[in-house]
Structure 1
Amino acid sequence: MAEDRTAWLGIDLGTQSVRALAVTVDGDVLGSGVAPLRGRRDGIRHEQGAGDWWGAMCTASRAALHSIDRVRIGGLAVCGTSGTVLLTDGEGRPVGPALMYDDGRAAAEAGRAREAGLLVQNGWGLPKALWLVREYGVARQAGADAAVRQAHVRLAHQPDVIVARLTGHPVSTDSSHALKTAYDLEHDTWPYAAFAELGLPDGLLPDVVGPGTLLGEVCAAAAERTGIPAGTPVIAGMTDGCAAQIASGALREGSWNSVLGTTLVLKGVSSTPLRDGTGVVYNHRAPDGNWWPGGASSVGAGVLAAHVPAAGPAAMDARAAAFEPSGALAYPLVSPGERFPFLAPDATAFVLGEPASDADLWAALLQGVGLTERLCLDYLHHLGAPLDGPLTFTGGAARSPYWNRLRADILGRLVRVPEETEPALGMAALAAYGTGAARTLADAAEAMVRIRTVLEPRPGRTALFVDPYTRFVGELEQRGWLPASVAAHARARANLDTAGS
């Protein structure tokens, strides 16, 4: 009789879907599942319902586990979109919609938070928390029990409500998701004095634990809905960007991971925090004590959705190869406002020049993401980040061989693409580490991650994009979004690779 195997379950609460992967410690993906999500977008508004997350999670986990035989689930961890928050009651049940990471309605609250001395961006969780308290807090509660009801309102990050359903009780949040709600990772505390100045209610903020901490076990009711065995350990996760970084295996100092999904996220590893007085780059704290500096841009594959014909993305990729470089120059923001490599709440997408065809426009959009990605790396170099380690591509867009090749050429550096590029794999590795199956998180990730492709940049192709890059940098500077010092640094490096030279 075959010996039972152990797998770890990673769950990724994405923008457009929930994904689940069951992975062995040596990287065999035994099962996978996905379920779609729909949000409500209207201008700067972007909301989702936590009930939809739970339903999709149940569908995805059942799909991942339904055909697995004689496999023990050693543990699970959940990641979510960074900066997505909502309010819950004392039992962990939502009392309103979730404001997604790119919801733009809390700009005024972000300004108030910065006046209180907190280095936050408009789309971060703290401004949204202030907005939610105003919209769904005491002022909106009627009746004599308003204060009592408000006292039980709690702020939750996206994975918190799912983990509460899995364990059957409210849970602490992880410090990775708490970062954008202004949690002080260096001192391991909430900035209570600033919160008091902002008028946040006492008791609103959850307790915080480090990623990889045991939060509880899957309860019987959740086991029936999800197919995950009751008693399975539930481990505190990290944000989707950090999860993708784990899935890339880029956990040694100087390594970087570029996550290209709906939007673009870059994260690396440093022994010390990377200081950025503008707040563009922020630092996550890894379970092993290292720092993971990085930032999240508003460009990404999400912009392609409106341009996909019936032929599909692969066919468009093949046609786009004839336009290197494109006759047009694109800055493909998914939604208004930019967060990295500069802060510009008023930034808007643009396409300069007349694309010769829909294929040329497709090429311009792909290249625009690559040019922004290059500028992100140049900004990190400007701050003194260690960039000499390997660069890995993950995220949904890494499934496109053409786009991977194009990005490697634009960046002018060697790139690795793992066999499995999903953040859910990173959560499986974190679950393995959190349950003691690996000595370090880096060990767990390197055992699970399998590199599928290594891409060498083609110097001739890289040279073709020097002029578009300098024009792109100049356009962003001329519009007042990109600081002159950063633009000058980028131009000085236009003929170099992005590996820290």
Structure 2
Amino acid sequence: MADRDEAAWLGIDLGTQSVRALLVTGDGTVLGSGSAPLAGRRDGVRHEQDPASWWDGLCAATRAALRGRTGTPVGGLALCGTSGTVLLTDGAGHPTSPALMYDDARATQQAARARGAGLAVQDTWALPKALWLTETHGPGRITHQPDLMVLLLTGALPPADSSHALKTGYDLERGAWPDALARLGLPDEAVPDVVPPGTRLGEVSTSAADATGIPAGTPVIAGMTDGCAAQIASAALRPGAWNSVLGTTLVLKGASLTPVRDPSGVVYNHRAPDGSWLPGGASSVGAGVLTAAFPGADPAVMDERAAAHEPSGAVTYPLVSPGERFPFLAPGATSLVLGEPESDADLWAGLLQGVAFAERLCLDYLHHLGAPVDGPLTFTGGAARSPYWNQLRADVLGRPARVPRQTEPAQGMAALAAYGTGAAPALTDAAEAMVRLGPPVEPRPGHTARFAEPYARLVDELMARGWLPPPVAAHAHARLDDGDTADS
């Protein structure tokens, strides 16, 4: 193993639109980066990718990231993938099906069967899709996105990491696959063995080194999902800390000593390598509504114009696609706009504010469940590049937030690789050494109060439509009436 002071670690992020690779030293210096585009096939609720494209993208991205390393040893690597993306492979690891992406929603009947068998799964989770694939393409081994890449890197089909296995039904508290899988038609040979994130899976083979530029013998470490990777990249790993990832959609990930119990299954818990818990949830609101509503618009220009509309004349719940998963479960939910925006700038402001309201409701819901939410908050994701939106979100939430200088999930995987190779005693230590945070974004005096009435109006409308449970709405109102901010 390379010395921590000399080596760098490679993080690889298999995203929806691209593969990203970062080579990062133990103090957070990025020595190299690379990316390669990915294409998918969308047809209604269906979303597929060709697994072969992942490998092509990985090879291009890692070669670019390693081009300027000038002899710096690569201490290890880890990969993250999109949570819930799954395919089938044969015994040798060759794909026998297309890859169904994280948001593919064709397996609703299989999801209902799984819930009927006592498993708390959502329609787009990997388990329903694995059932659909098995029924459509025949039996095979359930394989997650990073599993296939690790096979091509090491030459051996690996066990899955428990983070990616979560949405395939793996029981993190028991450390075992549930017995219900067999009753659903998935025999033992259909599911992989599972190991904790940070486990050493093997080494980069000679042939993979030729294709990727990664030195042969480099340790390959079991990774986590992209949401967890982004959380690590924000160093939000101590109990009570939360990372809000705002990209196309919104994901909140936090840290807790114990699991956060949610009978509805809206909030679920990943497990950190040290055995602590990473609760969170994924919403269907997000920045994707901006590109859909204003194709070709300059976000910086629109942000500047939106600042004159606080609050907006339109109260929105801006879903990127139909159905909501967090902070409430409502498969039939659709985007809503209350009121009439007076201009494009006012509508842009309403969409920005609507996402911030959803973010506040997520934190109110977590508080309702008893989750610790009193620690530091970080903003990551593509939307964190907007200074205005960051300020607006801090105002709506009534709490400060910080934005890491480097917000990519690939950096989180570099930190996990450092931990998994023994270069850091704990993942928290590796992450905090690598992550460089910007100055706090403080709520502006008096601005949080501006948004209290439209937030309350939205909460009432969501409840009236039957989407938001009344106890959750009441809790949100109580916190608002008490003058509580989202961290109290």
Query: Normalising by structure 2, what TM-score?
Result: 0.96
Q: Shift of the alpha carbon at 1:18? A: 1.4
Structure 1 unaligned regions, length at least 5: 138-149
- Are 1:186 and 2:187 counterparts? no
1:4–1:71 Cα contact (<8 Å) kept? no
Q: Shift of the alpha carbon at 1:424? A: 0.8
Structure 2 partner of 1:8:
9
Q: Distance in 2 between matches of 1:4 and 1:195?
A: 46
Moved more, 415-424 or 63-72: 63-72
- Are 1:168 and 2:168 counterparts? no
1:423 to 409, 426, 438: 409
Written as runs of structure 1 = structure 2, the 5 A alignment for 1:213-228 is 213-228=199-214
- Are 1:234 and 2:220 counterparts? yes
Written as runs of structure 1 = structure 2, the 5 A alignment for 1:79-478 is 79-137=80-138, 150=139, 153-191=140-178, 193-478=179-464
Q: Shift of the alpha carbon at 1:72? A: 1.0
Q: Shift of the alpha carbon at 1:7? A: 0.7
Residue 243 of structure 1 aligns with an amino acid whose one-letter code is: A
Structure 2 partner of 1:38:
39
Q: Deviations over 1:66-116 (max 9, x none)?
A: 122121111110011111111112222221211111111111111111110
Q: Shift of the alpha carbon at 1:308? A: 4.3
Q: Deviations over 1:434-467 (max 9, x none)?
A: 0011010000000000111311111321111111
1:213–1:235 Cα contact (<8 Å) kept? yes
1:280–1:295 Cα contact (<8 Å) kept? yes
Q: Shift of the alpha carbon at 1:368? A: 1.3
Q: Shift of the alpha carbon at 1:65? A: 1.3
Q: Distance in 1 between matches of 2:225 and 2:5?
A: 31
Structure 2 partner of 1:145:
none
- Taking only the aligned residue pairs, the percentage that are identical comes to 72
Q: Deviations over 1:276-306 (max 9, x none)?
A: 1111111111101111111111111222222
Q: Distance in 2 between matches of 1:15 and 1:197?
A: 32
1:23–1:428 Cα contact (<8 Å) kept? yes
Q: Shift of the alpha carbon at 1:222? A: 1.6
Residue 37 of structure 2 aligns with an amino acid whose one-letter code is: P
Q: Distance in 2 between matches of 1:466 and 1:281?
A: 25
Tell me the SS of whatever aligns to 1:417: coil
2:78–2:221 Cα contact (<8 Å) kept? yes
Tell me the SS of whatever aligns to 1:128: helix
Over 3 Å counting, the alpha-carbon distance change for 1:360 and 1:38 in structure 2 is farther
Structure 2 partner of 1:144:
none
Q: Shift of the alpha carbon at 1:360? A: 2.2
2:55–2:149 Cα contact (<8 Å) kept? yes
Tell me the SS of whatever aligns to 1:267: strand
Q: Shift of the alpha carbon at 1:361? A: 2.2
Tell me the SS of whatever aligns to 2:92: coil
1:469–1:494 Cα contact (<8 Å) kept? no
1:260–1:300 Cα contact (<8 Å) kept? yes
Q: Deviations over 1:131-160 (max 9, x none)?
A: 1111111xxxxxxxxxxxx4xx21011111
Structure 1 partner of 2:67:
66
Structure 2 partner of 1:140:
none
2:243–2:252 Cα contact (<8 Å) kept? yes
Q: Distance in 2 between matches of 1:203 and 1:330?
A: 47
Structure 2 unaligned regions, length at least 5: none
Q: Shift of the alpha carbon at 1:403? A: 1.2
Q: Distance in 2 between matches of 1:446 and 1:31?
A: 20
Q: Distance in 2 between matches of 1:48 and 1:302?
A: 20
Query: Normalising by structure 1, what TM-score?
Result: 0.94
1:4–1:70 Cα contact (<8 Å) kept? no
How much is the aligned-residue C-alpha RMSD, in angstroms?
A: 1.5
Tell me the SS of whatever aligns to 2:215: coil
Tell me the SS of whatever aligns to 1:206: coil
1:4–1:72 Cα contact (<8 Å) kept? no
1:267–1:293 Cα contact (<8 Å) kept? yes
Q: Deviations over 1:104-129 (max 9, x none)?
A: 11111111111101111111111111
2:250–2:285 Cα contact (<8 Å) kept? yes
2:399–2:487 Cα contact (<8 Å) kept? no
Residue 182 of structure 1 aligns with an amino acid whose one-letter code is: G
Residue 328 of structure 2 aligns with an amino acid whose one-letter code is: F
Q: Distance in 2 between matches of 1:48 and 1:304?
A: 25
